[in-house]
Each structure stands twice: as structure tokens, then as C-alpha cells.
Amino acid sequence: MMATVVGSYPRPKWFREYLKRIEGLQKDLDADMGKEILKKVIAEVIERQRKAGIDLMTDGQLIWHDFLATLATRIEGFVMDGLIRYFDNNLYYRKPIIRGKLRRKGEILWDFRLALEIERNLKPVLSCFTLAKLSKNEYYSNFEELLWDLGEIMKEEIKGLNVEFVQFDEPALLFASKDEIEVARDVFREICKVNAKAILMTYFSSAEGIFPEVLDFGFDIVGLDFVEGFEINIKLAREYGLKRINVGIVDARNTKMEDLKDLKAKLERILEFAKDVHISPNAGLEFLPEVKAFEKMRLVSKLKEEFG
Amino acid sequence: MKTTVVGSYPKPKWLLRMIRLYNEGKIDDKVMNEAYEDAVRAVVKDHELAGIDIIWDGEMRRDEMTSYFARKIDGFVIYGEVRVWGNVYYPKPAIIDELRYKEPLAVHEFEFLRNITDKEIKVPITGAYTIVDWSFNEFYKSKGEAVYALAEVINQELRNLVKAGANYIQLDEPAIPTHPEELEIAKNAVEIMVKGVNVYIGMHICYGDYSKIFPDILDFKVDQLDFEFANRNFEDLKLLKEYDFDKDLGFGCIDVHTRRVESVEEVKRAIEMALEVVDPARLYIDPDCGLKLLPRDVAFKKLKVMAKAKNMVEYELGLT
């Protein structure tokens, strides 16, 4: 069993203020900042994860202003538009518009590469389907072409990273049509040929929409949200024999701290059919104030200790 | 036909400096309060000079529209800030216990303002649905329960406001269009908030897809609905026509997201469009939203243009 996190972590206060100073509140975000400062804040957040007892860590996605903009602004073909609500959260993202053929214009996760200089035991977080789906397509004649181009770009990116795990965050899959899921299956099968263990992360809902197709996506581990869809996801995973699961079990969107005994009882039910699981909060931790984000990570690692 | 404001106005730079000193512990409560009062006097003067009919204090004491109230209500704590988008964060409250009335939310603001102006006054206060939607809930079993509990607290404040002499209260509920499936909760909450409050009630809703709340929003127990129109080029007026709008209209006709000051002529044309939907007596002309993010001179100029446009329309209609 491995304790992990989904990806984002709240920015430390000093870094928040630094970004506000150099970027302002609404003009051109993703500023060209000093690498040393970024390294300093990533090291701080990695240290928080280590201290909390997280085994497989992330870089905290600390300069990601929203889930899509970081990827979109680093790929040719996207332009950024106005703010729009991110699923059912009180959190907004700039809508990417696809105006031309999508092309790789260099390293995408250059911030993650910086993090690797500090710590090797990290998983990078990318997105393909969700980025495509939440963008406005003004260039491609159909979704399939768009997803294939984006998939190729992501595959290239992973090749250069040289990591053990790579994660795709795809909450939009849970709300997709069956046609879209079939396209996603073909594209992910290709992406998952890379030389890294691939994790699919889904959240914000139960996963009935992606079964049984998700079993053929080619991922080594499939992440399900057991906060939003506990009974349904148990039923699905059991019925379809899904064993390698990232169990999103601690609520990353509410400050309320779960009872360890309850969590243990829930996880025991999942372990009746799953093995070698990763356990984590059910989403990125940036929905919480830092103090609570840390406590939630502690809870994940304590839960793991229960199964010692 | 009257001009008014939604609520906030840019804080004078010197006040921001005072607030910083206060937070650093360098000045005491008494001095800080005097600064707030002086800032309100300045804002009132700006509103009077601009020619606004119904004014508020510019929300000089309020730092933010959720946590300012949450801090004054028992049952809330604030652990820290969370992101709204990009570099914008807010102190997100958490409900950790039963919500109970603790201290005045707006009565003190109203009483001070009443003493320094003869103008009509509108008291804006964030509504129960929006405060709960923008908070964590650790205590109540459902969102509805939390909203209704908070609505009771706000009801007490509204009653106190009426006792103090307020006759126009505005509920700010920008979160309503973000969850159209919860309109019933928001509607019930309004009924709780205004129970026994027999004064003029408005409700301000900005930044949303209004088509999702029509026509149900017309059943809310308020006298006036105040929407932003300038931001979307007045297209939402169509909705009002489509559904036989029968409330008084708060007509947001000044774009608060741009520093460009509208011309009198364009605001006048906008007011004329609004008059196709409601009679002059049912029209309240205001900016789309609070003005706090604009530079103060721009905010002032915008208000002045708005008042002038309204005067011209009134003159042409022979209403003066």
C-alpha cells in the first residue's frame, strides 16, 4: 500500500504574495519567474509531504494557476479566454480556445523537471481528455483528431521525463459520452505504451460512465473517488475485477477531518477485492487552507499505518 | 426612477495604509475606527457630489463579502485562504458549530451613516445561501440545514436594522445562479431572512447565467431584483421581457470590469431600454456590481455619468 496525493497543494503564503506582486491579479499569468524561488517553494512543499508521511509525492503544481492553463499555455495552438467555473467547485479557470493545430513547442512540465532536481520520488501530473474537453475547439473538424494530436504531445512529454509513475487527471471522463470514451480509450492505449507506470485519476463523481471501457485504457492504476461515489465505485470495481486502484478516500474538498476508524472500515471493504492500492485524498489539496491540507495528508498516512 | 449603488466603493489609499498599520498592531481600535468613519464621510461626499439618490457607505469596514460576516457569527472559524482563481484567494470560513447571532453585522454601519447624511440609504448584506456556498460545512448534515440556520441569524440582523430605522435592505446572492438545482433552498432562505421584516427588500445577483434562474427567481419574496446588464451588453433584458418581469428592477448599467468611463449618451440609451421592461417608478439604476476594484476617480466619474444620464431621461419624459 502506498500513501500518495493527487497533485495540487496550497501555495505557501509568501509564495502567494510573491506571485501576486510579480503577476498582479488578472493580467498575464504564468510569469517568467526566478527558478531559484520556484525551487525553494517546491522544496518546501515536498518537505511538507514527506513530514506528513506521503510515499509518492508531487511537485504541488505550485505555479499552476488553474488546472488547464499551465498545460494549454505551454502547447502551441491554444489561446486563453475568460473565466469559467471548474466543475461544481467555487474555483474558476480560464477557458482555453484551440485556434490552430496543436504542436509541442518544447518541454511542458519544466516546473516538474525543476522539482526532480530536488527529489526523484515524484509523479508528474498531466491531462489529455479533460484539457481537450474543457477547451473550446475552433480548429479541428472533430474531437477525435483533436484528442489524437494532444495525446501524441503528452506521449512525447512523458518520454523525456524518465520517471517511474506518470499520472493523468481526467475528471471530465466521468461526465463524457460513450462515443468520447471510446476515443479516449484508443488515445490512452497509445499513450500508455510509454515506459512508465501510468495512473488514471478521476474525481468529483462516481465512475459508472467509464466502465467497462476504462479497463482497456491501458493504465496500470485507475484512481476512483470514494468520497463522492463510495458504494457505486465499490460495486463497479468488484464487478469488473479492477484491482490496482488509487483509492481517493479522504475528502479534499471539506475541512472536516474524517474519523480514522470510519476510513479504516471503508478501506477494508475495498481491500476485499483490490490489492497494492495507492491511497490518497479524492482530489488535489488546493481546495483547502494549508493547515487542513497538511492534516488531510497526515490522515492518509495514518490510515496506511493502520494496515502496517 | 432612482439612482443607487450596489455597495462597495474604492477604499481611499490612506485607509488601506491605516488598515495595514492596524493589522501590524501599530494603531489601536479607536484610531482605526476614526479612520473608517472618516473614510465613510469621504465616500458619502463622493456619492452626494455624483448625484446618487440612494447611497451606502462604500463598505469601508468590510474586507470581503463572506468572511467579514462569518467572523461576526458564532459557529464559523477561518482556517486560512483558498484560491478562487489565478492569484485571487479569499479567507474561506468553515462552519464548525451551530450558527448563532453574536454581534451586529451591519447595524453599526447603518447607524453611523444615518447620522451623517440626509440621503436615502440602502443596506447591502450578503445572503445566507451565498455565505454557506462559499464556506466549508463541517457541522450541518446538509447544505439546506446550514443555509436555513444562517438565514435565521440574518433575519435577526434585518429586524435589528429595521428597528434602527433602515427601510431598504439588499440581499447579495451572487452564488444563486451557480447552482440552479438548489434554487428552492435559496428561495426558502429568503423567506426566513425577511420574515417579519416589513421594509423594501432587494436582491442583487451578479456574474451568472441568468437564464438558469428564470422564471423561478420571480417567485422569490423580494420587492426588487438587481442584475448586471452592462457586462453582457444588455442582452439579458430579453429574458425579462420573455417572462413578464413583475418586480422592481435594479438595473446594472455601468460596467465595473473596465476602466473606460461610459458616455452619458450610452447610459441614457441603456436606461431607455430598461424602461421598455418596467415603469420609471419601478426602476433603480445602478452599476453592475460594487465599484471597489476600480480606481477611485474612475468610480466617481462613472457614478456621475450614471446620475446625469438618469436626469436627462427624466427630463425628456417630463418627470422632473
Residue A183 DSSP code? H
Q: Which residues pair with A250 in a beta bridge?
A: A281
Q: pTM here?
A: 0.93
* Tens-digit pLDDT profile for residues B238-255: 999 999 999 999 999 999
Cell 447610459 belongs to residue: B267
Contact B80 A292 (CB under 8 A): yes
Contact A66 B79 (CB under 8 A): no
Mean of the per-residue pLDDT values of chain A: 95
Looking at the predicted structure, is the pLDDT value of residue A29 above 70?
no
Cβ contacts of A173 within 8 Å, gap of 6 or more: A129, A130, A181, A184, A200, A202, A209, A210, A214
Q: To the nearest whole angstrom, how far is the Cα of B294 from the nearest Cα of chain A?
A: 13
Residues of A within 8 A of B136 (CB-CB) are 254-256
> Which pLDDT belongs to residue A21?
86
Q: What is the dihedral of CA B3, B4, B5, B10, to 10 degrees?
A: 70
pLDDT band at A23 (very low <50, low <70, confident <90, very high): confident
Residues of A within 8 A of B89 (CB-CB) are 16
E strand or H helix at A166, and its extent? strand A165-169
* Tens-digit pLDDT profile for residues B142-167: 999 999 999 999 999 999 999 999 99
The minimal CB distance from A254 to the residues B84, B86, B136 is found for: B136
Instruction: Identify which of A65, A69, A40, A49 has the alpha carbon closest to the alpha carbon of residue A6.
Output: A49
Q: Strand B88-101 vs strand B123-126: parallel, antiparallel, or unpaired?
A: unpaired
Q: To the nearest whole angstrom, how far is the Cα of B50 from the nearest Cα of chain A?
A: 29
> Which pLDDT belongs to residue A239?
97
**Spatial distance between the Cα atoms of A199 and A121, rounded to a whole number of angstroms:** 15
Identify the residue with better confidence: B70 or A32: B70
pLDDT band at A273 (very low <50, low <70, confident <90, very high): very high
If you average pLDDT over residues A115-134, what whole number do you get? 97
CB A45 within 8 A of CB A9: yes
If you average pLDDT over residues A80-105, what whole number do you get? 91
E strand or H helix at A102, and its extent? strand A92-104
pLDDT band at A28 (very low <50, low <70, confident <90, very high): low
CA angle at B157 for the pair B155 and B160, rounded to the nearest 5°: 110
pLDDT band at A24 (very low <50, low <70, confident <90, very high): confident
> Which pLDDT belongs to residue A27?
46
Looking at the predicted structure, is the pLDDT value of residue A31 above 70?
no
| Backbone phi, psi, residue A274, to 5° | -100, 155
pLDDT band at A32 (very low <50, low <70, confident <90, very high): low
C-alpha cell at A164: 517511474
Residues of B within 8 A of A19 (CB-CB) are 87
CB A299 within 8 A of CB A282: no
C-alpha cell at B135: 464556506
> Which pLDDT belongs to residue A30?
59
Cβ contacts of A155 within 8 Å, gap of 6 or more: A190, A191, A193, A194
Across the A:B interface, residue pairs with CB atoms under 8 Å apart total 65
Low-confidence ranges of chain B (pLDDT < 70): none
Q: To the nearest whole angstrom, how far is the Cα of A285 from the nearest Cα of chain B?
A: 10
E strand or H helix at A279, and its extent? strand A278-281
Residues of A within 8 A of B86 (CB-CB) are 23, 25-26, 29, 65-66, 94
Residues of A with CB under 8 A from a CB of B: 10-11, 13, 16, 19-20, 23-26, 29, 65-66, 83, 85, 88, 90-94, 254-256, 286-292
CB A158 within 8 A of CB A166: yes
